[in-house]
Structure 1
Amino acid sequence: MNQGVFDKISKFLVPLAGKLNNNRYLTVLRDAFMLAFPLTIFGSIAVVLMNLPFLDKIMSQSSLNTFRSAMNIAPQATMGIMTIFVVFGIGYYLSKSYNVEAVFGGAIALTSFLLLTPFVLLVKGQEAIQNVIPVDRLGAKGMFLGMIVAFSSAEIYRFIVQKDITIKMPNGVPPAVAKSFSALIPAAITLTFFLAINILVTQVFHTNMHDIIYNLVQTPLVGLGSGIIPTLIAIFATQILWFFGLHGQIIINSVMDPIWNTLAIENLESYTKTGEVHHIISKPFMDIYTVGMGGTGMTLAVVVAILLFMKSKQMKQIAKLGLAPGIFNVNEPIIFGLPIVMNPLIIIPWILAPMLVTLVTYISMSTGLVPPPTGVTVPWTVPIFINGIMATNSLAGGLLQLVNFVIVLVVWFPFLKVIDRMNVQKEQGGNGDQSDWKVS
């Protein structure tokens, strides 16, 4: 394997990935979604409980309807209004990154978003209901507007604060009071800006910013992100970055998570109302059918293949160390112990297996053989098969993972055998050193 090729690729990828990984806005976006993570987990658990397949066997239809009606508030109050948490999180973490008062940044971002949100519910065939906020504006439908407003409002707020255009209170005033007065002018200017935008859009153009952003920005991006080709490109980029020792998930997901999370919320909203799922690819699809099968690259199958079929003591020892973490989707022992990073013998199955499995999964779901994920958030440490059932609310979801597991094992097997033979020769004192193959 030509080391010069790897050096050239590395010189291009490492600086680029470093810039993406350290980008202020991508880091803030990732942290904002993680702020909502425990809340969405709670809502997802409620959805799973509401839709357990055997409930209609142990409960009457009336009792089942009552149970679901009582539990339905949980997903509505969490995943149903996820944009609120993301908007506040962006405002908070972006302000914090500039070392200005973060909680006011979050509050101002949320208020700015609400200033652009129509407080009216339009019901077909009925008169408009005033002074209410449609829940879908606070969920998937308002996600991209929320992110745009949160970033821009936090930037305006911190700019004014850093220019020292604030009210300064005398010494002895309680800190909470002083901070509130200090944020008064920045908040007023920022909120006035978004109020003016809302007046212009609603009174002159007779529409609202939610519909404008949804139609011009969100719908095209979500449509693009839900396609199999962009998804395969994202998988390819993730695997390549990991091959060079960079955390592909953090880098690629920072860009794609807003789209995949929006798709997941739309799926969940549809599933809880109609029992139907409109999008195959979403955040749970990516989590459960890639990372949720032993970690990045689906390496639990690699561990099992080594333990069952390989003879090298070195490889078996690494596999034993990686088995327990791999069951819970932690695979750094394999990535750095086998190793996978910068090992040209492994680059082909490392990239090919996830892309092939993603394609098989997509085809299985698009043809109706397996239901797509419902949109519930399953903790990433839940083991294979169980997480597949939970994500799709179907046994078929878990069985598909087992099929994918076999596919990964088959793709990796011949490459593992080559490495195994080399290691066995080395352990027996022969000329089987990998150093001529592995780029360091």
Structure 2
Amino acid sequence: MNKFMTFLENVLLPIADKLNNNRYLTALRDGFMVALPLIIFGSIFVVIANFPFLDRILSKSAYQAYQNALGPASQATLSIMGLFVIIGIGYKLLQRYGGEAIYGGIVAIASFLILTPQTVEKVAGVIPAASLGAQGMFLGILTAFTSVELYRFFVNKNWTIKMPQGVPDAVSRSFSSLIPITLTLTVFLIIRILFSLTPYETVQNFIYTVLQEPLTALGSGLAATIVAVILIQIFWFFGLHGQIIVNSVFDPIWYTLNNQNLEAFQHGQALPNIITKQFVDSFLVGMGGSGMTLAVVILIFIIGRSRQIKELGKLGGPAGIFNVNEPIIFGLPIIMNPLVLIPWIIAPVVVTIVTYFSMATGLVPKPAGIIVPWTTPIVLNGFLATGNAWQGGVLQLVNLLIVMAIWWPFLKVLDKNYYEKEKSGAQ
């Protein structure tokens, strides 16, 4: 155990620190956070538009009219979520550099649109919606990073227009950004022209074929997901927000897989992916927070004897229902506590495997691509994530029991330790 702890401290902790402080991963994470309210808005209306049994209650034409009326809510948000993420990444990255952040978002989205195909079935001047969503996500992320760096390079070279004193500040800032934005967008226009001369025709086709498809296939696998889950738990054990660190790397892949399922769900087709953003958020994080600590809270009320554990249960219980588990993580504590390291890592891995094979065998429907608000309580969370399927809620309850069984002996030992210390202190 000591050697393992030393390995974690000397090897993984420095890596986690670097990832946590990396400007690009931070901008990527924050960019998704900018888009999150819009994504959740669209997801809510997908749930409402596909509410169970409505197709049996309403006539076919009425049900179609109902779905058509609510369709724009998701089409204007989820279907083109790449646009919002790109703006957020550009904004946050330039803000981190101390620049005029709004121009980071502007130059990022304009650069992306220059590279995006603008023809649909030989009709010019039309941008395919798929290019603005999951299919264009990787290109959008790379474009946002590159465009902001180019813009910043030209600004640092002082290739700007200086306006005389007395000119309104808004006008002065606009003119000072004119040359850097023009040069940056020109670079991307040249890139577009060069790719039009290749067999790929567009940068988007190149990125999707060479990078996005292989990476998405890798991220959709059980093995890669287990590695991601283990890393989340290890980072949290050392006091680092594992969810943020790992999601910075995996979110582009998981969101892409999520959108593929959503598109299939909306068209009544078979869902292609088991691993998606909502697979992780609903069946792992959506059960009391990272590490599924709602099970720990329930166990505290069942077996807790020490005053410290009981008080922690009262404090962490209400928050845990809504997937907020900082009271448990810092109060139990889980951070740097060797007594809970094994269940902390093992339980999410076991649940990941159980959930994956439950969906692979058809016992439980795959995630429908609906982004469920992360504070949604267990059972309702699983029901909504699987497209209003009761099996999703039942699976969450099964997973909860699995986590409780794994944690039981370890929490028993920890509680006994606290109880004996309290007893000896009282004497």
Which residue identity is paired with 1:25? Y
Shift, 1:428, TM fit: 2.6
Structure 1: state its 5+ residue gaps: 123-127, 432-440
Shift, 1:97, TM fit: 1.5
Q: Does 1:325 align with 2:310?
A: no
SS of equivalent to 1:368: coil
The TM-score normalised by the length of structure 2 is 0.96
Shift, 1:310, TM fit: 2.8
2:207 matched to which residue of 1? Answer: 213
Residue-by-residue CA offset, 1:268-322 (whole Å, 9 max, x unaligned)? 1221123432111111111111110001100111111110123222211111111
Which residue identity is paired with 2:258? A
Q: Does 1:170 align with 2:170?
A: no
Residue-by-residue CA offset, 1:228-283 (whole Å, 9 max, x unaligned)? 00000000011111111111111111111111111111211221123432111111
Residue-by-residue CA offset, 1:83-140 (whole Å, 9 max, x unaligned)? 1111111211111112222212211111111111111113xxxxx2222111001111
1:277 matched to which residue of 2? Answer: 271
1:434 matched to which residue of 2? Answer: none
Q: 1:216-235 to 2 correspondence within 5 Å? A: 216-235=210-229
1:80 matched to which residue of 2? Answer: 79
2:398 matched to which residue of 1? Answer: 403
Aligned partners of 1:190 and 1:213: how far apart in 2? 20
Which residue identity is paired with 1:380? W
Aligned partners of 1:239 and 1:206: how far apart in 2? 41
Shift, 1:8, TM fit: 4.5
RMSD of the alignment, in Å?
1.5
2:97 matched to which residue of 1? Answer: 98
Aligned partners of 1:381 and 1:145: how far apart in 2? 31
1:186 matched to which residue of 2? Answer: 180
Which residue identity is paired with 1:419? L
1:262 matched to which residue of 2? Answer: 256
Structure 2: state its 5+ residue gaps: none
Aligned partners of 1:39 and 1:131: how far apart in 2? 26
Which residue identity is paired with 2:417? M
Q: Does 1:337 align with 2:336?
A: no
Q: 1:163–1:389: structure 2 CA closer, same or farther, 3 Å change rule?
A: same
In the alignment, which of 233, 244, 247 is matched to residue 239 of structure 1?
233
Shift, 1:179, TM fit: 1.4
2:340 matched to which residue of 1? Answer: 346
Residue-by-residue CA offset, 1:311-362 (whole Å, 9 max, x unaligned)? 2222111111110110011111111111111111111111110000011000
Aligned partners of 2:175 and 2:423: how far apart in 1? 75
Shift, 1:392, TM fit: 0.7
Q: 1:199–1:11: structure 2 CA closer, same or farther, 3 Å change rule?
A: same
Which residue identity is paired with 1:363? F
1:201 matched to which residue of 2? Answer: 195
SS of equivalent to 1:147: helix
1:374 matched to which residue of 2? Answer: 368
Aligned partners of 1:206 and 1:62: how far apart in 2? 42
Q: 1:353–1:204: structure 2 CA closer, same or farther, 3 Å change rule?
A: closer
Aligned partners of 1:104 and 1:345: how far apart in 2? 50
2:152 matched to which residue of 1? Answer: 158
1:54 matched to which residue of 2? Answer: 53
2:66 matched to which residue of 1? Answer: 67
Contact 1:100 1:161 (8 Å CA) reproduced? no
Which residue identity is paired with 1:281? I
Q: Does 1:137 align with 2:131?
A: yes
Aligned partners of 1:104 and 1:309: how far apart in 2? 56
Aligned partners of 2:72 and 2:7: how far apart in 1? 54
Shift, 1:178, TM fit: 1.2
Q: 1:221–1:8: structure 2 CA closer, same or farther, 3 Å change rule?
A: closer
Contact 1:201 1:209 (8 Å CA) reproduced? yes
Residue-by-residue CA offset, 1:369-424 (whole Å, 9 max, x unaligned)? 10111111111111111111111121110110000000000111111222222233
Aligned partners of 1:268 and 1:170: how far apart in 2? 53
1:300 matched to which residue of 2? Answer: 294
Shift, 1:162, TM fit: 1.4
Which residue identity is paired with 2:287? M
In the alignment, which of 401, 409, 417 is matched to residue 414 of structure 1?
409
Q: 1:380–1:206: structure 2 CA closer, same or farther, 3 Å change rule?
A: closer
1:289 matched to which residue of 2? Answer: 283
SS of equivalent to 1:383: coil
SS of equivalent to 1:193: helix
Aligned partners of 2:146 and 2:425: how far apart in 1? 63
Contact 1:43 1:74 (8 Å CA) reproduced? yes
The TM-score normalised by the length of structure 1 is 0.94
Contact 2:159 2:179 (8 Å CA) reproduced? yes
SS of equivalent to 2:151: helix
Which residue identity is paired with 1:10? E
Contact 1:87 1:146 (8 Å CA) reproduced? yes
Aligned partners of 1:337 and 1:180: how far apart in 2? 50
- Structure 1 outlier segments of 4+, above 6 Å: none
Q: 1:8–1:366: structure 2 CA closer, same or farther, 3 Å change rule?
A: closer
Contact 2:200 2:206 (8 Å CA) reproduced? no
Which residue identity is paired with 1:188? T
Aligned partners of 1:407 and 1:136: how far apart in 2? 39
Instruction: State how many pairs are aligned.
Output: 425
Which residue identity is paired with 1:308? I
| Stretch moving more, 309-318 or 27-36 | 309-318
Q: Does 1:28 align with 2:27?
A: yes
Contact 2:322 2:375 (8 Å CA) reproduced? yes
Aligned partners of 1:291 and 1:16: how far apart in 2? 23
Which residue identity is paired with 1:284? Q
